[in-house]
Amino acid sequence: MFSGSIVALVTPFRNGEVDLPRLKELVEFHVREGTSALSPCGTTGESATLTHEEHEKVISAVVQQVGGRIPVIAGTGSNSTQEALRLTRYARKAGASAALVITPYYNKPTQEGLYRHYKVIAEEVDIPIVVYNVPSRTGVSISPETVARLAQFKNVVAIKEASGSLDQVSAILGLCNITVLSGDDSLTLPILSIGGKGVVSVVANIVPKDVASMVDSFLKGKQKEAAKMHGKLFPLTKAMFIETNPIPVKTAMRLLGRLNGELRMPLCEMTREHELQLTKALNDYGLL
């Protein structure tokens, strides 16, 4: 469940509402393309601006559409421990395979506070938990030592590591045997090379088969093939972050005719200059 190419799924909107028919189409697309698992309601899914009702609706829709064919790792994090607990309970009730729980944002808890946050969720909800570390967006980074403490809970099984630091990944793997998943597309191959098992990917919204192929090749010992695919993917992965995620990926999906590109405020459309850069990256990759 916690290896391969896991797609950080976008949330499609139409006229300000969640577009459930298009969401279901995206699920089918990823199942066909060989995606290992889907992760709705994360950062890429604009979870911060989904209402609680929408959050639950998206998780349920993805779980039902997947129908057990691949795992669903539902985003259930919050800067409120009680809110994260409620969302995680809902994910379990809805049939999600696991929960992706971001470190509390804005509050800037201490390491002890982070530990207690996850401890409450791990003890209260019987579901596999993936810790999500993305300090550039939350303002706090969970330390390797805290990760090792949390790994002692049987249902804290993995970490999505998006600190951008290979030192951080190395330290985590040196302290415990938790599964590490890359949270930065451009670092997926380097993280695999030091013991990671997969990626929770943004760019796989666009090229799921290629991301899956790269990870699968590496895990099967085909390092040269994986390196070649990494080289091909690298410029596209960087283009996905020329503005705040998920602005570029949703814009790319609009340019490819897969989505209308609608974002939820306060996110807004890309600048013309950046859209031209993104279009060039898609062209260079052979997608346009």
Q: List active site positions.
A: 132, 160
Grouping H, G, I as helix, E, B as strand and the rest as coil, residue 271 is coil
Q: How far apart are CA 70 and CA 144, in angstroms?
A: 30
Q: How far apart are CA 104 and CA 135, in angstroms?
A: 10
Q: How far apart are CA 32 and CA 141, in angstroms?
A: 36
Give Cβ neighbours of residue 103 (< 8 Å, ≥ 6 apart): 77, 109, 114, 117, 131, 132, 133, 134, 135, 138, 140, 141, 142
Give me 9's structure tokens: 């799924």
**Which of 76, 91, 8 has the alpha carbon at shortest distance from 45?**
8
